[in-house]
Structure 1
Amino acid sequence: MHRIICILAIPLFLAACATNPVTGESEFSLYGENWERQVGEQQYAPLRQAQGGDYVLDPALVDYVQRVGQSVADPADRELPYEFQVLNSSVPNAWALPGGKIAVNRGLLTELDSEAELAAVLGHEVVHAAARHSAQAASRAALAQGAVILGAVAVGAGTDNDDYTTVALLGGMIGAQLIQQRYSREAEREADYYGMRYMQLAGYDPAAAVDLQETFVRLSENRQSGWLDGLFASHPPSQERVENNRRRAEELGRGGRISRDAYRQQVAKLKRLEPAYKAHDEGRKALQDGRVDEALQKAQEALSIEDDEALFHALRGDAFATRENFGAAERAFSEALARDSSWFYHHLRRGMVREQRGNWSGARTDLQASLEMLPTADGHLHLGNVERAAGNRQQAIEHYKIAAQSDTPAGERARKRLAEMGVTEAQG
């Protein structure tokens, strides 16, 4: 079938066929390896920022996940600079960008029961990268639409105040589209089939992939909260996949490491902190619904379990900012930054409250730091406000014009600021 598609595509796209490095089959693709590597390298860091930032509270757990990931990537049919990161998000998800850039959320790690199941998840994602599945999907989208649409995504800030509702990303976040798209059934079958081989070659029992899919099907049938917005959005489970994995496990031969005790030991701290993250997530929802007192209560509940998690301090900061208690908000965001300065959000939020307090120098430093990590309309809008207040008209205009490109509340406010200054977006 792939060869037929390639033959039919020749009149429309010259040299639009490529060999799948995993299956050896010819497949339709408009994008070569250079595109894959560039997309992976350019989008990996900002996409991790947009998905919650790296998980820094337990470096030993991150190292462990990376070791397991490299062990299943070593036997892959395609040599790539594979990288693995754990993201600080409760959404149970894992994804792969082109070029071998892979991430798994802490919310998924708490649902797994063994190192072999982790190997199954990461082996599956390795195949997506090795087999060029993202490039194939992007090619199909380009053929259907005439071009790849580089939309934007938003990071929820979890409050009801206009200034604290969403953080609108700027730029061509093609990476966001690539990890949010649903893979074809054939791509999912390939990722399951060859991922089990990779995990077996790494020394794991491929039967763990059967247990994993059975768990996913059960969670899907129960419509477990969070799952439908996470892993199931791009990797829909099915009983068919369970049976396919069971046949594949018999074909490969059962046996190998399961390592339940080792896995449980590695995730022990994360499991201990589950009530704290649950309180945090409930606090975020309360803040979004305007229940500020409850949000503060939930933040304190989370902090009483783990004071070193920056997210919990940031929740307090957002709640205080919603109350317009900007002094307390700044202190809370400073506490967050003292624990994790690697996530743009903490810099952005402290910069915003420092702007409210008239601390132009401090706000500028924070907002510039946030933009270096992740370009956002909000960052440019508020940096424009700072420069305008400081009397730097041209710099303010430049930042407003960037923010004005966004079709979001931040973009609308930037356009109003430009109009107030007598500047049209087309003017320099």
Structure 2
Amino acid sequence: MWHGPCKWPALVAVLCLAVPLAALAELGPTTPIAQSADERELITRATEFEQELERRGLILNEPLLKDYVAATGNRVVAAGKVSLPLRFNVLRDPNSNAFALPSGGIYVNLGLLARLENEAQLAHVLGHEAAHVAGHHAARQQQSRRRKVISAHLADLALMGTSVAYLPFIASMAHYSRELEQEADSNGLDYLLAAGYDPEGSTQVFGVLREIPVTESFLGSLYASHPDNAQREAAVRARLVGHDPVGNGRVGETEYLPIRLRALADSAELKLLGGQYELALRNATSLDKLAPKQPMGRYLTGEARRQMAAQPELAAQEQAVLRQTKYSDKLVAEMRSQQQSWLDAAQIAYGEALAIDSQFAPAHRGLGLVAHARGEATSMREHLSRYLALAPQARDRRYVEYLMTAP
């Protein structure tokens, strides 16, 4: 499982212990995975959790990402001769994480897709998680922990405007021992090699995940913060001795680029919804570097700066986390002192987006909202009118029309 320490109360999610049970058949057959009554109980609970994710709209159904992840995962497990009924999904979550459930559900977050650099790295992540299921690691971990349950309170998960409350879940479903992680590393590497991927994808993943700040990752990471990562990477490299030289297998950097661009944009928008403005700016910077001829990176830069100006209290909360200090009136005052400069920066960024694509409607919306914040009614109406002309089906049309007609 991939994830790292999370300090965002609004974005904390813990796996659930009991959610109303729906028809298990909707998630596919689970019987072939189970080996014991205890494991069947784990599968039932995991299936309930998956159904809750689906009900709350946290499973992303965007074909570009969903189909690519599923195709990569199926390619890996087929080559590895994993005969279990596995399902690969993308979770609508900006944190860097991936996890497997004993019910066969394997999930990779938008945030991690945005961090990975090629298909070989994704193949390693999915192969690693598949190895957890194939090795019955949840049941083995449960036995070793004697059914110890994570102690946690209900937490609200605010993503895409949806508030979701989860109940605690058995620790073994979310967190594996060092030995089981090493076993998943080894078996996942075997799957990767069998599928014809460049084995360097496995070692690269450790480097990618080491670069993830704790503020961008999830609860309790074995990959972003575990003290034995260096030994685990060394063990993977040792396993590669005697195999074909690096570079002879599939890397898939070109194929993965549109996936990463979409994940960067989508996770940035989720971060903005969660008041993670500086973190969204990092996504925007990455988008600019990877696709300088596309307007999205510049637009998201403008959105982050504009929203920081509009919500200085939330900006102060984020800065308190990033600076590892206390939220205070002084910090709020500091953020308020920068409102005008942030509006200036937003205006420049939106203009740069339109210089790349003059028909990019969201940038006109951004300029209109900047003008509204400054009390510039004529400029506001001009840009918002242009926005609605370019995007006649805009979801926020009523709100925009209200701004345009308000005195």
TM-score (ref. length: structure 2): 0.54
Alignment partner, residue 130 of structure 1: 134
CA distance in 2, matches of 1:167, 1:277: 13
Deviation at 1:111, TM superposition (A): 0.8
Q: How does 1:72-83 map to 2 (within 5 A)?
A: 72-76=76-80, 78-83=82-87
Deviation at 1:209, TM superposition (A): 0.3
**In 1, are the aligned partners of 2:94 and 2:109 still within 8 Å (CA)?**
yes
CA distance in 2, matches of 1:234, 1:45: 28
CA distance in 1, matches of 2:173, 2:252: 29
Note the alpha carbon deviations across 1:280-308, whole angstroms, 9 max, x for none: 432799649688998xx999999x99999
Deviation at 1:104, TM superposition (A): 0.5
CA distance in 1, matches of 2:128, 2:205: 11
CA distance in 2, matches of 1:173, 1:111: 28
**In 1, are the aligned partners of 2:79 and 2:194 still within 8 Å (CA)?**
yes
Q: Does 1:37 align with 2:59?
A: no
What is the aligned length? 266
Alignment partner, residue 262 of structure 2: 269
1:107 aligned partner, one-letter code: G
1:112 aligned partner, one-letter code: L
CA distance in 2, matches of 1:60, 1:173: 32
Alignment partner, residue 239 of structure 1: 230
Alignment partner, residue 357 of structure 2: none
Alignment partner, residue 165 of structure 2: 169
Query: Does the C-alpha gap of structure 1 residues 97 and 192 become closer, same or farther in structure 2, counting only changes over 3 Å?
Result: same
1:39 aligned partner, one-letter code: R
Alignment partner, residue 189 of structure 1: 182
* Residue from 36, 49, 53 that aligns with 2:58: 53
CA distance in 2, matches of 1:179, 1:167: 23
* Residue from 90, 94, 112 that aligns with 2:94: 90
**In 1, are the aligned partners of 2:158 and 2:164 still within 8 Å (CA)?**
no
For structure 2, the 5+ residue unaligned runs are 1-34, 278-303, 318-331, 355-359, 363-393, 396-407
CA distance in 1, matches of 2:223, 2:155: 17
Deviation at 1:76, TM superposition (A): 4.3
Query: Does the C-alpha gap of structure 1 residues 307 and 135 become closer, same or farther in structure 2, counting only changes over 3 Å?
Result: farther
CA distance in 2, matches of 1:67, 1:207: 20
Deviation at 1:142, TM superposition (A): 2.1
Query: Does the C-alpha gap of structure 1 residues 86 and 60 become closer, same or farther in structure 2, counting only changes over 3 Å?
Result: same
1:85 aligned partner, one-letter code: N
Alignment partner, residue 119 of structure 1: 123
Query: Does the C-alpha gap of structure 1 residues 41 and 224 become closer, same or farther in structure 2, counting only changes over 3 Å?
Result: closer
Q: How does 1:154-165 map to 2 (within 5 A)?
A: 154-157=155-158
Query: Does the C-alpha gap of structure 1 residues 150 and 197 become closer, same or farther in structure 2, counting only changes over 3 Å?
Result: same
CA distance in 1, matches of 2:218, 2:40: 33
Query: Does the C-alpha gap of structure 1 residues 276 and 37 become closer, same or farther in structure 2, counting only changes over 3 Å?
Result: closer
Query: Does the C-alpha gap of structure 1 residues 85 and 258 become closer, same or farther in structure 2, counting only changes over 3 Å?
Result: same
Farther off after superposition, 194-203 or 68-77:
68-77
Deviation at 1:90, TM superposition (A): 0.9
Note the alpha carbon deviations across 1:190-211, whole angstroms, 9 max, x for none: 1111101111112212221011
Note the alpha carbon deviations across 1:218-252, whole angstroms, 9 max, x for none: x26xx453236374479836111111111112244
Deviation at 1:265, TM superposition (A): 3.0
Q: Does 1:64 align with 2:68?
A: yes
- SS of the counterpart of 1:253? coil
- Aligned-pair RMSD on alpha carbons? 4.3
**In 2, are the aligned partners of 1:208 and 1:258 still within 8 Å (CA)?**
yes
CA distance in 2, matches of 1:235, 1:198: 25
2:155 aligned partner, one-letter code: A
Alignment partner, residue 229 of structure 1: 219
Farther off after superposition, 270-279 or 202-211:
270-279
- SS of the counterpart of 1:250? coil
Note the alpha carbon deviations across 1:317-374, whole angstroms, 9 max, x for none: xxxxxxxxxxxxxxxxxxxxx98xxxxxxxxxxxxxxxxxxxxxxxxxxxxxxxxxxx
